[in-house]
Structure formats: structure tokens, C-alpha cells
Chains A and B, each alone.
Chain A
């Protein structure tokens, strides 16, 4: 089964350890081992993130147990989490700075 890792028990985003297809059931793992299964609603490439809980607009996105940004829209469990629905809490709008 394909896998995603939730680094910290508080995290609401996990990192894909395989290229995950939309609709696939995957294994969610922690630092110590497997913690359960979930369904990816959207495709998530290797190294990218997916939501492991429902996240409301404006909520903090947690990875490493720390805030990596804020949700710019409602995100459902299993959704792909990236620049289209998250922005930096430190440097809002930084993604347009390219």
C-alpha cells in the first residue's frame, strides 16, 4: 500500500512517500510505524502533502508540529495541500514573488 508520513502527532498535513492517485486508500505512518489508513481524495505527488483532518479556511497547517502556513480555503481530509490552498503566515503572498 502507498504511504504518507505524519511527522508529529499534532500535524494536520502528512507527506506522501509515493505518488498517490485520487481515490487511493493509503497507509498513514508516524515516526514509529503505521497509524492507520485513509483515502486520498486528490492526487498527491511524492514529497507533497495531503490533509489528514478537515481544515477550515484561516486554520493553521501543521507539519513537524509547527505552523507551516494558513489555509486560504476550506480543505477536506484527503485533499492535496499546497500553494493553491495554503499561504505563508510569515510572508503572505510570497508565492507570487517569483
Chain B
């Protein structure tokens, strides 16, 4: 099966064709956003990285910012900075340039002042957009695609509706030779060997257990012990009986494919197939890490209820404008309000209602993934408005 995508100089294939205006640090967010907003075809990448962090967090930030800039969905990038930040705008641009796409750097320190800086930014962005607009989509096999996935606002039926169909979609893409990344290390605590069982070899299983232990140590250092407190009283009231029941429902979104490897936050997978990435359950931190790893599309599974009914669910905060998000809902509100009706791309609540089977929804969902990869806009892409900076995962102190 094929989709229509944009071929990139490094051999990857994009599904969107934007010019990214990337802030090198929080000080430059406004400049990056203003330049991008003035040029159709350009989008801002603004985020929460600040200078007052230590080595490990700086390295994670560099990996994720440059990974996002290297996304195949980006035709060209401008790194916008003050000039004094760490990592430097030149370092970020140098890393993105390894993906062979056009990259330019613009710093306040090397400009003749704010207005001249902005004018230069508009000019570069327009030149890059003009060049990108000449590119045409061509057919490519689905093996070029990478999906990122996350569930949120989970309900008792997430595991049998939204996560079940997502799992089938991932299995199908992987069978076509594609790649999928899932995450949320904390969800695996207490059930790590259920996932380790799917590892392709003992080394992958061992690395997974180490990653889970490391996350548990971070949690314990804050004075909390979450092992043995799962499922929560609320989960039990919803029908989840044991930690296995809860974790398997969450892991259902990863399908049944063998686990090829585990990735550090924002690390690119070394091959095709299914990968687990160390990350938090915080939506923006997770989306940014999966995008940095090369995800073309992000699947966001909402359980239902209140989390599907407010204007700006966490899944749409701190998102990345050039990574289309396919939103899935497992259970509709009663009565479904107009907002909810217009927010989701895949209604998996039909499984609960009895009007469609898991297989039928998975078929329609897979076709939607291929359509979105070929250029169809998602519901979220058709709404402008309130945005927040991408949140980057940090584990060290801010000083």
C-alpha cells in the first residue's frame, strides 16, 4: 500500500511540507512565532527550554529541538535565537543540517537591532516557503511512515475501544514495514515483564527493565512509592481489577508486534517496527519526544467523558504544528455536544454502542492514517487559535 509524500534529501519522506521557524530558547519564542505567523507555509516551533539547566537536561533539549527540526514533515528550517543561549542557535542548526535540508540561523546578537532582525527573518522564511511550494507529492510505500501514540483521559473502555483499534492500526503499519513508537514509562511500573515478554531479545528486555527502574527511582526520590498502589480506587470503580488489567489496557494501544527496542527520550529508532520510548505521560513532553524520533503522525486516544468535552484537551496543548494529530475517542458524552462532534477524527465509541466491530473501526482508522499521510487535514489542523509552547522533559533542577 502507498501514500503520497514529499521526498527529502536524506531519503526520508514527509507528509507535510512546512518551513519551521525554530526558537533556540524561551527568550526567542516571540520572535520565532511572529516570523512564522507572518508567512503562510511557515510554522513556529516554540518551547520551554531555558539556559538555567544542567548538562543532562541541555542534552535532552538539544536532542528534541534538533530532532523536531529534522522531522521529514519540515522542508526547511530557520533557527532563531538571541545568540547567548545554550545550546547555541548554531549548534542546533548544525545538528538539523545533518538531515540535509536547508537550514539558516538568525541571532539577535549578530543583527543590527530588533527590526532588522525581524525583516531578515521574514525574508528568509518567504524564500524558503517559495522553494518548498515547488515540491510535489509522490507515491511511497507505507514502510516510510512512523506513528507516535499516546492515550489520555482514559476510561474503562479505552482498552477495548480506542486502544484496541490503535493497536490494530499499529500492527497493520508494522506489517507493511513501518514504524511505531509508544511511551509512558510510569504506566509500565508493576507490569514491566508483561511488556518485556514481547521484547525481541533479552538485551531489549533488560534495557526496558532498567528504564522502568530508573523512572521508579526518580519517583521514589520525591518521597512517593507508586508500586503497589495500582490500580487506584477510581480505576477499580471503573472496572479495572488489577495492575495487569490496567497496564494491559494501556499497552493495548501498542498492538501485538514484537518490541524491537527501547529509546531514550527523543532518540531516533535504529530500525523499523515497534519501539518503546522513555518519557512521561505529560502530553506535550511525549508528543515532542516522539516527533523528535521521527513520528510523522501522532495518534491521541481520549477515553471520553469530561476530557473530550472541553475546548483545549491536553492533547492539543504544546503540540507541534507540522505533526498532524489524529484524535480518537472511545466513549461519547451523552448527549454528545457539538464541540465534541467536531473535535475527533476517529469515533471508536461505535464499538461500545454496538454499531461497529473493533475490526471495522480499525479498517476505517487505518484508511484515515493513509489519507492524512497523503495530505488530508485532521480536525485539529483545521482549527487555528490558542497554542502553547512545546514542553520539554527535564529531570534536573532549574537554577
Contact = CB atoms under 8 A, between A and B. Distances in A.
Contacts of A83: 236, 241-242
| Chain A interface size, under 10 / 10 to 19 / 20 to 34 / 35 or more | 35 or more
Interface in B170-226: 190-191, 193-194
B252 interface: yes
Contact of A82 (B168, B241, B248): B241
B236 A69 contact: no
Contacts of B95: none
A90 B244 CA distance: 8
Contact of B159 (A45, A64, A81, A91): A64
A38 interface: no
B244 A7 contact: no
Contact of A64 (B156, B229, B236, B252): B252
B160 interface: yes
B227 interface: yes
Contacts of A56: none
B155 A47 contact: yes
Interface residues of B, number: 33
Interface string A1-25: 0010101000000011100000000
B241 A15 contact: no
Contact of A91 (B227, B239, B249): B227
Contact of B242 (A29, A33, A86, A98): A86
A60 B155 CA distance: 24
Given A31-B168, A68-B245, A88-B243, 10 more contacts: A15-B239, A16-B239, A29-B354, A31-B358, A32-B357, A48-B156, A68-B248, A86-B242, A94-B228, A97-B228
Interface of B: 155-157, 159-160, 164, 168, 190-191, 193-194, 227-230, 233, 236, 238-239, 241-245, 248-249, 252, 351-352, 354, 357-359
Interface of A: 3, 5, 7, 15-17, 29-33, 45-49, 61, 63-64, 66-69, 81-83, 86-91, 94-95, 97-98
